[in-house]
Amino acid sequence: MDTTNDTLQADLLVIGFGKGGKAVAKTMGRLGKRVVLVEQSQRMYGGTCPNVGCVPTKALVHHAGQRRESDSAQEWYARSVKEVQTLTALFRRGNYEALNNAETSTVLTGRATFLDPHTVSVDAGGERLLVSAATILINTGAETVIPDTPGLRESKHTLTSTALIETTTLPERLAIVGGGYIGIEFASIYRQFGAHVTLFEASGRILSREDDEAAAVAEAILTGDGIEIIKGAHVSEVRDTAHGASVIYEAGGRRYTLDVDAILAATGRAPATRDLGLEAAGVRTTAHGAVEVDEYLRTSQPHIYALGDVRGGPQHTYLSLDDSRVVLDQLLGQGRRSVSDRVAVPRTLFMTPPLATVGLTEKEARAAGYRVKIASEPVAEIVAMPRAYIVEETRGFMKFVIDADTDKILGAVLLSVDAQELINTVALAIRHDITASELRDAVYNHPTSTEAFNEVLATIVRVDAPQTAGV
């Protein structure tokens, strides 16, 4: 790495070890470019997903599902957390070595702050380093937002999702504030581990952005597993007690108190842009604190890009990976690829069984003016899906929203075993205009979950006219 006047000179500087940034760094390093990647924490090599996000939480989903009623909840949980920590340490070491051991790449552990549009100062354990680069990627991710509820931030029993999965003590009574994806996923995990879980949702229903039927079926599964869901709840105060914490909340016009051992704040994550010194770089941010980018992920400084959660929008690792393709096309290709090219991006909530969706909901399709056909069937009634019975998970349903005029698939919701895999096939079908009939009549191997499409897509339950004003 070149050094001039005590400043590291690089072709590419990446701030943050997230999925998109590390993918660009690896590619540029293989091409012989001088790359510096700065990560503020040695526990975050590789980014959110392998350390505190996708990998550990999905591993906990697996471990929780393996526990038998006769197993000690506390012992099983403690052992599971330690095994997951071993796994994440393996991923972390691999991510670090893959970059730092490359001949032209260097990983610095410390906090980066912009001094000007091309230079950052890195505080690395008391040592101050300067790094200057022709191209800079901001890839710092997002951080948990804890609301200003009196006592919530101050309580020693309030945990973020990161802190909760690192504790080896299973809370006997867990309160979760927030009924979004994170809140529901953790409610499902910790209930299966044996905790008594209460989920507080401020709105009148959970999963308010999802299909109405999907939300209702998901709620029935969660409550059937023993999770208490309190909708329309306003948590007004948290007080620490001698044996835990008291959550004071209002619901249905009445005031209640719930005593718990731990509280998970699952009220959302915000782009991590604090203390980056973006003003010194001339990089603008949005009203919500995200780095402002165009469709090519360029910031207000054309040589500085933002990838992943820090740029705002949906927070998914696979979108961060696609961000890397957009940026690499700018740096090495023809510069045509953009985020607007994305079509039918799937998403999955890893409750048990998982809820996966893509495209338009039934309500959205009607509002958009489509005449729709609906194919829907409960998993327990899908004869062509023996895998659900083989693995003893027949809860859930499948639903497809189809354009009645073209037979193209507009959207789907799959609440079933293997839904996280099945949804990718549906998304691919939508992107390539494969019709519902083609997906219905395709040959799938047996016994699999995919063959459920043969049956479900043959079950057209109704045809709806477009939604009109006043309806």
Q: CA geometry: angle at 412 spanning 392 and 269, to 5°?
A: 90
Distance, in Å, from the CA atom of 176 to the CA atom of 161, rounded to the nearest integer, reads 10
Asked whether the beta carbons of 452 and 369 are under 8 A apart, the reply is no
Q: Are strands 127-138 and 119-124 parallel, antiparallel or unpaired?
A: antiparallel
Q: Which distant-in-sequence residues (6+ apart) come within 8 Å of 464 by Cβ? A: 362, 366, 371, 372, 374
Distance, in Å, from the CA atom of 333 to the CA atom of 180, rounded to the nearest integer, reads 38
The residue from 62, 234, 303, 446 that is catalytic is 446
Tell me, rounded to whole angstroms, the distance of Cα 428 from its chain centroid: 20
Distances (CA, A) of 368 to 292, 390, 400, 465: 29, 40, 16, 11
User: According to the 3-state scheme, what is the secondary structure of 400-448?
Assistant: EEEECCCCEEEEEEEECCCHHHHHHHHHHHHHCCCEHHHHHHCCCCCCC
45-54 core/surface letters (b: 16 or more CB in 10 A; e: else):
bbbbbbbbbb
Q: Is 288 a catalytic residue?
A: no
Distances (CA, A) of 361 to 210, 314, 398: 7, 17, 12
Please give the positions annotated as active site: 446
